[in-house]
Amino acid sequence: MRRKLGFIMAGVFFAVLFTITWSPAVSMAKPIKLSYANFPPAPTFPCVQMERWKKEVQERTNGKVVIDTYPGGTLLGAKNMIDGVIAGQADIGCLCMAYQPGRFVITNATSLPLGIPNSRTGSQVLWDLYKKYNPEAFAKVKVLTMFTTAPSSIMSKLPIRNLKDMKNVDLRASGGAAQILKAWGANAVGMPMPATPEALQKGVVKGLFSSLEVMKDFKFAELCRYVTVTGAAVYPFAVVMNMDKWNSLPKDVRKVMEDLGAQQSAWTGTYMDNHVDESIAWSKETHGIEVIELSREEKVKWDELLEPITLKWIKDAKAEGLPAEAIVDDIKAFTKMYSGQ
Ligand code: 3IO
């Protein structure tokens, strides 16, 4: 009898030991490692949001997940980001969708001149638009979050006060923003943001069209002493994960990341809006830049020139079989809702 009990006890002991050793909850001595690639330098907003997401995930999973971040295009660059993630060169990647306008037609509609007033609103509108239309362009990845920049303005070496000043000036922009510059008569030169400092330095372009936090983060205020406030287009971004990697993650980890989708979008928008204000103040104080506001009459002319852009987008998107009018109407309605207009 004694001996039998001994055997049972030993059996239970080994069964428990086996369970503890192999259960995913306890074998967390070895964390899940994920690589996260980003294309611009570490101090810029796409990387600031990346570090925030990393911290949140690590904390909310109690260290079960560890994320290694690769800013500055050290793992994947601006134009091969999503394909690199699909191929598994990085587990996670942050991309600017404007650099591939034909590939992300639905989400890039947020860069049309539809009056998104700030990054917080733009980010929430974009996330809802993605959730509603679930675009085919993301079929091969898991989308973790999306956000937009604040509306773009012109930063230039020479002052731009009216449409005449814009004529044939070489200004850098990408995607939908490039079409807007062309409508105003400028010569849009397309290139990703990380290529812009050199292009400005060498004089290949005389300025750029983007959100104004870059005046500080890329030190563009040193070269561009003038800002013309246009508030016309946001640039949409996405953070995507390799699908096999996503499917390999435990349920509780996936839940943490799912919950973060909308939160990260709103957080990034708020960070961006505050940082634009800081950047303008810094640029005035440190480099004495001039901020040019268009007169009312001038602004009417600039806005009128943009009207054909949305109409053309609707025509082209329809030709691709997309519910183009509904997408534009949704962007307007979501913008109203989030901006409280
Ligand atoms: C951007 C891209 C990388 C780092 C900072 C940035 N601020 C605004 C953008 C938007 C963009 O990609 C662009 O091309 O203007």
Note the pLDDT of residue 154. 98
Ligand 1 in contact with 119 (CB < 6 A)? no
Given a cut of 50, whether residue 17 has pLDDT beyond it is no
Q: For residue 210, how far is its CA from the centre of ligand 1 (angstroms)?
A: 7
Look at residue 54 in the predicted model and tell me its pLDDT.
98
Mutation test residue for ligand 1: of 48, 110, 196, 211, the one with most atoms within 8 Å of CB = 211
Distance separating alpha carbons of residues 157 and 212, to the nearest angstrom? 15
Residues 103 and 117: their CA atoms lie apart, in Å, by 25
* CB of residue 149 inside a 6 A radius of ligand 1: yes
pLDDT digits (tens, 9 = 90+) for 294-340: 999 999 999 999 999 999 999 999 999 999 999 999 999 999 999 98
- Kindly state if the Cβ of 148 falls inside 6 Å of ligand 1: no
Average pLDDT over residues 157-179: 96
304 C-alpha to center of ligand 1: Å? 26
- What per-residue confidence (pLDDT) applies to 5? 56
Q: What is the pLDDT of residue 4?
A: 59
Ligand 1 and 210: CB distance under 6 A: yes
Q: In the chain, what are the domains?
A: 32-150+235-275 (3.40.190.170), 153-233+287-322 (3.40.190.170)
Average pLDDT over residues 138-152: 98
Q: How far is the CA of 138 from the centre of ligand 1 (A)?
A: 21
Can you give the pLDDT at residue 273? 98
Give the pTM: 0.91
From the alpha carbon of 208, which atom of ligand 1 is closest? Answer: 15
d(CA 233, CA 164): 21
d(CA 112, CA 324): 12
What does the DSSP assignment read for 12-65? Answer: HHHHHHHHHHH-TTT-TTSPEEEEEE-SS-TTSHHHHHHHHHHHHHHHHTTTSE
Q: How far apart are the CA of 39 and the centre of ligand 1, in A?
A: 10
Q: Which residues of 32-46 are buried (b: 16+ CB within 10 A; e: fewer)?
A: bebbbbbbbbeebbb
230: Cβ below 6 Å to ligand 1? no
Buried b vs exposed e over 242-261: b needs ≥16 C-beta within 10 Å?
A: bbebbeebeeebeebbeebb
- Is 268 touching ligand 1 by the criterion CB < 6 Å? no
Rounded mean pLDDT, 143-150: 98
CA angle 337, 102, 200 (to 5 degrees): 90
305 compared with 9, residue with greater pLDDT: 305
Is 9 a residue whose pLDDT tops 60? no
Question: Is 218 close to ligand 1, i.e. is its CB under 6 Å away?
Answer: no
Mean residue pLDDT of the chain comes to 93
**Alpha-carbon span 122 to 14, nearest angstrom:** 56
Structure tokens that stand for 21 in this block: 């050793």
* Cα–Cα distance measured from residue 38 to residue 71, given in angstroms and rounded to the nearest whole number: 5
pLDDT of residue 291: 98
pLDDT value of position 7: 56
Q: How many CB atoms are located within 10 Å of the residue 219 CB?
A: 15
What six digits make up the tokens of 13? 């002991």
Q: What is the pLDDT at residue 282?
A: 98
Whether the CB-CB separation of 81 and 95 falls below 8 Å is answered with yes
Q: Looking at residues 17-37, what average pLDDT do you find? A: 68
pLDDT tens track for 80-114: 999 999 999 999 999 999 999 899 999 999 999 99
Probe ligand 1: pick from 189, 193, 212, max atoms within 8 Å of CB?
A: 193
Question: What would the mean pLDDT of 162-180 be, rounded to a whole number?
Answer: 95
| 46 C-alpha to ligand 1 centroid (Å) | 8
State the distance from the centre of ligand 1 to the C-alpha of 28, rounded, in angstroms: 38
Ligand 1 close to Cβ of residue 69 (< 6 A): no
Check residues 176 and 202 and name the one with the higher pLDDT.
202
pLDDT (mean) for 230-246: 97
pLDDT-derived band at 175, boundaries 50, 70, 90:
confident
Residue 200 banded pLDDT, cuts 50, 70, 90: very high
Q: 201: exposed, middle or buried (C-beta count within 10 Å: 0-12, 13-18, 19+)?
A: exposed
